[in-house]
Structure 1
Amino acid sequence: MRRSLIIRTTAVAATAALALTACGGGGGSPLSSGSGGSAAPSSTIIVGSANFTENSILAEIYAQALAAKGITVEKKLSIGSREAYYPGLQDGSIDLIPEYTGVLLQYINKAATETSPDDVYAALQKALPPTLVVTDKSAAEDKDAVVVTKETAAKYNAKSIADLAPHCGQITFGGPPEFQTRPDGIPGIAKTYNCTFKDYKSLDAGGPLTIAALKNGDVQAADIFTTDASIQADGFVALEDPKSNFAAQNVVPLINKAKATDAVKQVLNAVSAKLTTDELLTLNSTAAGPTKPAVDVVAKDWLTKNGLL
């Protein structure tokens, strides 16, 4: 994680002053505050993110869009995986985070079987605890995928996970530690495709460690998100998932119900209405580009382009 960074700025909207605090990940969890996280005042929304670039960009988009409407926000970015940040949503130390419908549903209800976007969203709304709600889901979708190099795909004549399955015993798989136990991770792939990999290397969430391991052959298959810019840039192959091991994963704001006022929901729904899968690809490609712009800059440019600032 990045060194802890706390920046407090004040921006003046048309009718209100805003306090904006940005916290990146540090040596400890961004949720830590003395002995633990604490809830924000009722007028402040704490926006968190997972520890990968796309999610941090989305969190910045939510935070800046809310701030532009005079809503006071605080940012705690790059917290970690769902297993790290979800408790913060429950105890109030964060209020809002960009989520993905299918994996969130399976995290809450490991027996969930829904796979289509609308079915997953409906089931998620019912499965959430009473203190949390989701606003409108976006059309943007970013799924986990089993990704291989072109050479591996050609070697096994593999276009899908089903094609790869007979050869899984020869393959070392790489991904984040949590993918090893999540229902749609290694257990799901084994159950759905009868695919048991030779070995598993714990890396990062589709980040530089995973990309490097796949490129240099330390792993022959990896968990990489479908909107990751490296798939196109490095000529990787995202294998098809014909049996829908990975459910629909539409981007959706997950928020503390007590903070989901009509004004807040209107802002978040406006963002979701503009967000598409192609837009996610562009955001990720921009962030990974030669100049490596900061996530807040990428977010601001997107909001400006879409008339949300």
Structure 2
Amino acid sequence: MKRIATAVAAVMLLSACGGDPLQGGNNNPAPTDTIVVGSANFPESTVLAEIYAQALAAKGVKVSKRLNIGNRELYFKGVQDGSIDLIPEYSGVLLKHVNKEAQEVSSDEVYAALKKALPQGLTVLDKSSAEDKDAVVVTKQIAAQYSLKSIDDLVPYCKDLVFGGPAEFQNRPDGLPGLKAKYSCEFKQFKSLDVGGPLTVAGLKDNTVQAADLFTTDAAIKANEFVVLEDPKNVFAAQNVLPLVNEKKASQQVRDTLNAISKKLDTKTLLDLNQKLSSPDKPEPEKVAKEWLASAGI
């Protein structure tokens, strides 16, 4: 708990100080001989970035890291201005970020549309079979109280319930706007919490929020017997893990190395990685990544 409290305090301090790792003159283009690997501000993204960085370094590629940058709205600016060269991404939400009108939902359709929609100079390499979607999650008690199995079941009660999640979920097309458009679900209130972190989990457990946005590979779901509501109208499209990379830095060696990782990654791997990251000893993502690379023979 001490580590969680410290992490939350650090985030609050950063926000209070106006901290923004891609602002204030710190967005210079990456050196031409180096691949700068970034990550979003949640553990799964960080460990995937470590996997990419360590695998490339083992092949003799010069790398540096800028981890825990923040949300997509923030780090994508760095990818576009060239201060970040490589970052682990999720196909469906990335497609919606670059094309808010995208309607594709299946894995292959999303991937094909994404490759066409990316800004010039950026590309995605092979997608893995590993998927981690946003999901509407409730406690076992709330699911039983309202007989909930799907978001459709939730609709009659949305107006009476408080929803929790990261601030950006309020405005993303596959967030609250998508729930309103596809299900006519409008919640009584939205509480801005964190990206599938301790604040969101705590909010569900203490009933501060009755539904929340969590990632489907979050170890907290199983640990707390949370219920992931089915999404029959596909607010949340396919979300295959894949590398987003600066095309200028995507040499054949870089492509081969990252594609080999994608070939080995599956959803069970993501669950296992998250389980290790959330274990009582709280290992560093760097260590978890190193162990996985060794076990995968990469």
Q: What is the rounded CA distance, in whole Å, between the counterparts of 1:35 and 1:82 in structure 2?
A: 19
The equivalent residue for 1:148 is 138
* Equivalent residue in structure 1 for 2:184, among 155, 174, 194: 194
Between the aligned partners of 1:202 and 1:2, the Cα distance in structure 2 is: 14
Are 1:135 and 2:125 counterparts? yes
Maintained 8 Å contact 2:22/2:74: no
Find out whether 1:276 has 2:285 as its counterpart: no
Aligned 8 A contact 2:41 2:68 in 1:
yes
Match of 1:76 in 2: 66
Tell me how far apart the structure 1 counterparts of residues 182 and 30 of structure 2 sit (CA, whole Å): 43
CA contact (8 A) 1:57 1:299 kept: yes
Q: How much is the aligned-residue C-alpha RMSD, in angstroms?
A: 1.5
SS of match in other structure, 1:103 = helix
Indicate the SS of the match to 1:124.
helix
Identity of aligned residues (%): 60
Deviations 1:36-88 (A, max 9, x none): 31112211000000000000000000000000000000000000000010000
- 2:223 counterpart residue number: 233
Structure 2: stretches of 5+ with no match in the other structure: 1-6
Among 29, 35, 46, which residue is 1:45 paired with? Answer: 35
> Alignment partner for residue 168 of structure 1, among 134, 141, 158?
158
What amino acid does structure 2 have at the position aligned with 1:116? Answer: S
1:29 counterpart = 2:1: no
CA distance in 1 between partners of 2:63 and 2:206 (Å): 42
Residue identity opposite 1:148 in structure 2: V
Which structure has the highest strand share of the two?
Answer: 1
Task: Please give the TM-score of this superposition, normalised by the length of structure 2.
Answer: 0.94
Supply the AA of the counterpart residue of 1:252. Answer: L
- Cα drift, residue 270 of structure 1: 0.4
The offset of 1:2, in angstroms, is 8.5
Task: Kindly indicate whether residue 48 of structure 2 is the aligned counterpart of residue 58 of structure 1.
Answer: yes
Contact 1:31 1:76 in 2 (8 A): no
Q: Is the 8 A contact 1:30 1:77 kept in 2?
A: no
Matched, 1:96 2:86: yes
The letter of the residue matching 1:29 is: D
> Is it true that 1:213 corresponds to 2:203 in the alignment?
yes
Q: Matched residues in 2 for 1:2 and 1:201: separation?
A: 16
Q: Distance in 2 between matches of 1:3 and 1:29?
A: 16
> Which residue is 2:4 aligned to?
none
1:278 Cα deviation from its structure 2 partner: 0.4
More helix by share: 2
Q: C-alpha separation between the residues in 2 aligned to 1:294 and 1:165?
A: 40
Q: Take 1:298 and 1:3, find their aligned partners in 2: how far apart are those partners?
A: 24
Q: Aligned-pair distance for 1:35?
A: 2.0
Question: In 1, Cα distance between the equivalents of 2:162 and 2:64?
Answer: 41
SS of the equivalent of 1:80 reads coil
Instruction: State the distance in 1 between where 2:247 and 2:85 align.
Output: 9
Instruction: Give secondary structure in 2 for the equivalent of 1:184.
Output: coil
Size of the aligned set, in residue pairs, is 287
TM-aligned CA deviation for residue 31 of structure 1: 3.3
Runs of 4+ in 1 over 4 A off after TM superposition: 1-4
Structure 1 length as normaliser, TM-score? Answer: 0.90
**Alpha-carbon offset, residue 185 of structure 1:** 0.2
Structure 2 counterpart of 1:204: 194
